[in-house]
Each structure stands twice: as C-alpha cells, then as structure tokens.
Structure 1
Amino acid sequence: MKESKNILRDSHGRVHSYLRISLTERCNLRCTYCMPENGVQLAPKSHLMTYEEVYDIARLFVKHGVTKIRLTGGEPLVRKDIPVILEKLARLPVELSMTSNAITIDRFIPDLKKYGVKNLNISLDSLDRKKFEQITRRNQFDKVYSNILLLIKEGFKVKVNAVLIKGFNDNEIIKFIHLTEKLPVSVRFIEFMPFDGNKWDMAKMVSYNDVMNRVHAVFQKEDLLKLSDAPHDTSKNFKIKGYIGSFAIISSVTNPFCDSCNRLRITANGQLKNCLFSSSESDLLTPLRQGKSIEGIIQKAVQAKFKIRGGMDTLKKLQDPDLHSNNRSMISIGG
C-alpha cells in the first residue's frame, strides 16, 4: 500500500481538518481567565498576518484537507479589515465560522450573511450584570445579551460559551440551562483551563461531574436527554425534554477529547500551534514572507503533536506550573 503523504496526519493517525485562525491579539474585553491582569505585550502590527497572508495560509491548509475554519481573536471583529478577510476566505470550499464576544457583532450581520458565516460561538460567562462586569472588567452585559437575541432572530446558529469557575459562576449552571427552554441556543460549559497569567488552579475548576451533579439535583432522569455527539466533537451534548435548545460540557481537563482531535491553530502572528495546551509553536509567517514553502514546517509540527494535552497526560502534570505556565495567555493564542 502506498504510504499516505497527508501532511495533516499526525503520528497517532489523527487527520486534522479543522483550522482555527486568530486574527488579532486585541480585545474589547479583559476576561480574567483569558488575559493576565496587567495585560499582554502585543505584537507589533508588522508581525501580524495581513489579510493576504491569512488567505494564503488558509488556502494551503484547505488544499491539504481542512474543511472548516473558525476565526477567533482576541476579538476578531476589532480587525478593521474583517470584511475583506471574510470575502477572501468565502472563496474557499470550507465551512466558515467565528467566535466573538458579540459586543459589536450587530454591525457585521450583513457581512456575516453575505459571506456565509452561519455558526457563531458567543462568549458569555455570567447572566448576572455585576458578575459579567467583574469577570470581563467591562460593563457590556446588556449589549452582549441583546446581540445574542438579535443573532438568533437573524437566523444564525448560536452557541453560548461559559467558562465555569468554582465559587464565581458555578451557581448559574441551572440558570444557563433554563435559557435553552425558550431559545434555540446551545449553552456550552467549559472547564477552566491553565494558561499564562490566569491564576489557574485545580480548586477553581468545575468538572464535568460537578456540572452533571447539579443537573441531576434539579431535573428528573427521564427529562435529561443525551444527544448524539458529532464526529470530532469536543463536547458532550444534552437537552432537557421539551426545551428548544440544548447544553453541553467541554471537559478539556478532566475528560479530554484528544483521541479524536482534528484541530490546529494559527496565532495572529502566524505561529502554528498543534495543541491548545502545547507551549511549542512553529513559525509559518517568516518563511512565507521569504517566499519559502511552509508545507514541510506544517508536516513536522503536526507529526510532533502529543497524544494528550501537549504532553501533560496526567492531572499531576497539568497542575505543575512549570509545564503549563510556559504556554501563552489565552488572549494571544486565540479562543
């Protein structure tokens, strides 16, 4: 049998068809789990990918089998050339989606529709105005919530991402689930993950089991419906009988989905990360600007991908700050 030359197949047999591209390190919120308290050293504009470079890199990945691209940040909509980026990426035979905090997304609804962006992940970590301001360091709850309702009205498929932190918003789990009673949204509870500067520790994390214990305490067993998870899905999906929407749990820490991972990430300054938890990166932008082929670099980076969580294959390793603090802060990786 002829050996496969797929540069997006790693040494564990996983084929990567999903690319997340961060367009900027900038954001109009300052979420505590994402951005260090003192901010981050932003890369100079000249070090960031231009819209042409975003397209050229994306086109190469699509050539080798990527079928889905998600645009992230920072907040991707703070890029002034976002309509141009959308227009160029829409030329590719790929599903295009976006993660946003929704503060300004109402201004871009015509562009999103025009260029076929139907799936939107919106970050919302609390349904309480004061808590929202506390975690984001900004008073924008009403704007975000009203824009979520607007996106639903305009026909977008909306997922609401909530990072759970013990003692802060874990008492809102049921409130978030009740949100799905009348709204066709998927609320996704995300385990708090360690990144540089976010003061992570295991005691702050709300696990998959913690979420389900709260669910079972409120809802009858026969009313909790397990939904089918899509191939390569990062979440375990459920709904309450009679509710329009659904909810899910992304348990990257306690129950990682590494075996079926098909994701790669490009940072705003053109670094390829083969895993969200990995501290290693591969520079694509410099050789691209030098007119060199980057396919060999991509293949080498994919081949170097660890089987589990960037090599942190036990919770003990994950709790070692010498291992996880070498990674970037979330804001500079891309959500």
Structure 2
Amino acid sequence: MRAPQRLLPGLQCWAARRAGSLHTPEGGPSTSTAALGVLEAVRGVATASASPAAPQQQPAAAASPPAPAASAARFDLDQHARRLREQLEGPRLLVQQQQLLQQQQRQQQQQEQEGPWGTLLAGRAAPAQGGPGSLEQQQRQQQQQSRRRRLDVSAIPMLRVPSKRDAPAPPPPAGDPRAPSVDWREIVERARRTQERVGGAQMLTDTFSRKHTYLRISLTERCNLRCTYCMPADGVQLTAGERLLTAGEVQRLASLFVSAGVDKIRLTGGEPTVRPDLADICSRLSALPGLRTLALTSNGIALKRQLPQLKAAGLSALNISLDTLRPDRFEALTRRGGHARVLAAVEEALRLGYDPVKVNVVVMRGVNDDEVNDFVELTRDAPINVRFIEYMPFDGNVWSDSKMVPYRELLASIGAAHPGALAREDDPAGEVAKNFRLRGHRGTVSFVTSMTHAFCGDCNRLRLLADGSLKVCLFGANEVSLRDAMRAGASDEELALVISAAVDRKRAAHAGMFELAATANRPMITIGG
C-alpha cells in the first residue's frame, strides 16, 4: 500500500481544490456536495493505506499501528470534510430561516389585507414559535396550514365592491366646464311624447344663421408627446376606455352630421395615430355620401409608417404639428424626443402627394418666435402651408398675454425679411386662417388669429370629443353628451334634436382673450384643437 500513500498528498490537494480553498472566505459558499464525496473517498484511501493487509491467520491483536503520515493525512481530510459540511449546511439553514420569516410576513400581510374574511377562510393558528432547533416542526406546521387553505371557494359568497367605472357618470356640478348646455334626457322624452323632428341643414343652423359644415372629431385623449401649451405639467385625468366612442359610434354620429350638411371632417386627438383602429375609422368615414374632405391633425411621431395605409383608406388632407426646427428645443417643448420622425413624416406626406401639407406652429414669445422666418423657408420649394397659430389659453397651459405673439407682429417680421414679397391670398369659404403667398415660393403661410382677430361671425365648425361630448365652441364651457344619449337608446331623429338644441345655444362670439384666460375649460389635449 505504499503506492496509495504516495498518491495521498496529490489526492488530498485535488480534493481541496475541488471543494474550493477552505482557507479563503470565497471558497466555502461556492462548494458542492460532490466535493464532499471526493473528500470521503480520499479519506477511505487514507484509511486503507494506514491499515496494511495482513495474512488471514494473523490475529487481530497483532495488527500494526497506523503510520504517522497516514494518520495525519486522515486527520486533515476529516478537518476538510467537517468544514465543508459546515459551509454547505450553514447557508441551507440560513435560507430556510429566511424563507420561514418571509412566509410568516406574507401571511401576516395577507391577513391584514383580507381582514376578518381572510382569518375566517384560512382557519389558521398563529405560527409556532421556536429557535433553529424547531425548524422542521415549523415547516410541518406551515405545510399543514397550506393544505388547510386549499378550500373550495366556489361555495363562498363573493362580496363585490362596485367599481367607479360601473357607476353612471354623475352630473357635473354647476360651473363645471363640462356642465351640459342642454338636457338630452328632457329632449328625448319630449320627442317621444310629441313626435317632434328636425332634419337637414336646420339641425346645424344656429340662431345667428351660421351653417355648420365642418366637424372636428377627437378620437382619443392620449398622446405620445407632452407639449407645454397642450398638456398640463401634472398631466390630465383621462377618460376610461369604455367611455370613449367606439368606431361604430363615431361612424353613426358622423353619418348623422354629414346627412345634415357637414362636408368636411377632421380627425384629431390627443394624438389620433395612437388609436389602433384609425385606418378602419378613416375607411368608414371616407365612404359617407356627401363628405368631401377627410382630414387628420397629427404630431407626426408615429405618422410616417401609417400614412400609406391612411391614404389608401381615404384620408385626403393632412396637418402636422411642429413648433420648432431645432431638436433640442423640440425636446424642451414636447418633453419627449422624436424631432427627426416628425420631419420624416412631412417628407413622406409630400412623397405621397398631399398638396398642401399643412404645418401647424404655435408661436410663443421667448420660446420659438425667433424661428418664424426659418419656417417660412420651408415654403420655398415645397407645397407646404405653414400655419402660425396665436398662443391660446386652456386649462393648465399657464397662458399669458406676454407670451402671445399677435399675428400682425409675425406678419411684420416676415415682411421685413422678404420686402415686397408678401401677397394676400383669397380665403376659401369658412376658412378661419388669413393666407399669404411669398413671391417665388411654392407654398404659402397662414395665420390663425383666434386671440387678436376672432372669426366667430363666420365660424362653421363643431367639435365631437373623444368621450362623445358635443362642443359647439372651442372656448365654450358647455357640452352635451351624445354618447350617453346614444347608449341610452336614442334614435337618430332624437339625436338630431339634441344636436340642434346644442347648436341653437351657440353664442354670437366667444369672450376676449383675458376673459378666456379666467374661464374654466378643458385642457387642449382633451379637446383636440
């Protein structure tokens, strides 16, 4: 057995390496039970080498004493094995104790959440107390508790707490910006009693003989940007999805308006391209008999990839919002990135043949008013209509007249940069913008002057919001819910009466800009512009 004795130091060293150096802190936790087996095997070799074989006739009492080297090797291996067992067993016990503590904490939290119902259903006692010596007993008790919790809950009566979404929307208090201008319930009930009817252009003609032929439909309140003039800094309360108009409801209401004389519909948001059924809605609306123009206003972030499909679905006109040509300023204004994607959307619209491609620019003093002539340059070689919009007050956008740049100031700035080049264009019927063309430019520039030169006398537009509310004036606070009337079973004839009553209450003009700034209204993002 001298050969095994010679191999013993090498095997011992290999086993120690296999187990990880037990003399270093990082070695212990990384060991495996296989290393412990190797140590046991090497210890067996050491024991065999320490007791050399004797003839069968030799008495046991005559066995020779173990060699000193072999005894020392066996002692070292015993020490290695003991330390390895401790390092393997220690983490396991620690993990078990941690798991037990976590389970007790979860049970306590669950009991607090469930209240008396949880205690009644669980039927469990308090967990057993004890130290590490009672660990197995505690685990058995936990297993029994888990088995007791496997109950047939189908026989237990369920207590359902009503959801806010299940409850009908309470009527807004007096003075609320969403307070209805008409009571649709009263109108529907009267129509059912008297068989009263209204139809054709009469439905959309107000008491000042203004005929409304332009409907703006907001498809969503959601947006993938957070523009400072549109979205309040602390966000907005979004309407629950089931309270928004479905594609079928949009189609039904749009058909009703078109049959009464609306010939132009614009889809807005929020951001309409975040609505997954946008192309389907475009297909439905573009097929309505009598509709001449189906337009879209978008921020352009997700527009490029959708535009070919939207054009095929019947989208005939396009506005893209872009308030700056500088990427860093774009991020400051929108609180998001994506400037290059908006420019790509403009290029894609030009490639697909939209003429003109309208670019909406909200001008704010000290923010982007130094870029006015840069935007004008976009019209030199492309059929782009840049529309400069006066900064308007809405809830949460911290409007100030000092930030509003009047259109005449913008016009003077452009005229100074292009002397004698500006010429006034004829404004189409119902057009709210003042249109100009620069000599030698393929495109045009326009000014939307809602603040300094209101166009209320010729206003021909109505707004259907994403939640189904009809808003007859952008700056008016009163609304009426066509969604509620429709979902309550109102017929098209009854809906026409509700619409007619709301249109009849449209005022001759909205208030001045300072009065508007003090008037409660929705945030722009929930109106759609």
**TM-score normalized with structure 1 length:** 0.94
Q: Which moved more, 1:84-93 or 1:66-75?
A: 84-93
* 1:237 maps to which of 423, 429, 435: 435
Amino acid paired to 2:522:
R
Structure with higher strand content: 1
- Greater RCO (Cα-Cα under 8 Å, separation 6 or more): 1
User: Which of the residues 383, 387, 400 maps onto 1:188?
Assistant: 387
Quote how far apart the aligned CAs of 1:52 are: 0.4
1:180-329 matches, cutoff 5 A: 180-221=379-420, 223-292=421-490, 293-309=494-510, 312=511, 314-319=512-517, 321=518, 323=519, 326-329=520-523
Number of residue-to-residue matches in the alignment: 325
Looking at structure 2, the residues matched to 187 and 334 of structure 1 have their Cα atoms a distance apart, in angstroms, of 19
Deviations 1:135-154 (A, max 9, x none): 11111101101110111011
Q: Say whether the 8 Å CA contact 2:200–2:260 is kept in structure 1.
A: no
Deviation at 1:97, TM superposition (A): 0.8
User: Secondary structure of 1:107's match?
Assistant: helix
**C-alpha distance in structure 1 between counterparts of 2:345 and 2:462, whole Å:** 29
CA distance in 1, matches of 2:314, 2:402: 41
Output aligned runs, 1:1-335, within 5 Å. 6-93=202-289, 94=291, 95-157=293-355, 158-221=357-420, 223-292=421-490, 293-309=494-510, 312=511, 314-319=512-517, 321=518, 323=519, 326-335=520-529
Change (3 A) 1:23 1:65: same
Identical aligned residues as a percent: 45
Q: 1:33 to 1:315 in 2, by over 3 A?
A: closer
Secondary structure of the corresponding residue to residue 446 of structure 2: strand
Report the secondary structure of 1:288's partner residue. helix
Tell me, in whole angstroms, the C-alpha distance in 1 between the residues paired with 2:501 and 2:362.
Answer: 32
Deviations 1:274-332 (A, max 9, x none): 010011111100010111121111111101111112xx1x344234x1x2xx1100000
What is the CA–CA distance in structure 2 between the aligned matches of 1:207 and 1:307, rounded to whole Å? Answer: 23
2:437 and 2:269 mapped to 1: Cα distance?
29
Tell me which amino acid in the other structure corresponds to 2:315: V
Partners of 2:350 and 2:232 lie apart in 1 by 32
| Rg comparison, structure with higher value | 2
TM-score, length-scaled by structure 2:
0.60
Displacement of 1:109: 2.2
Is the alpha carbon distance of 1:272 and 1:216 closer, same or farther for their aligned partners in structure 2, counting shifts above 3 Å? same
Runs of 4+ residues over 4 Å off in structure 1:
none
Q: Greater share of helix residues, 1 or 2?
A: 2
Instruction: Kindly provide the amino acid, as one letter, of the partner of residue 417 in structure 2.
Output: V
Q: Distance in 2 between matches of 1:283 and 1:240?
A: 44
Any unmatched runs of 5+ in structure 2? 1-198
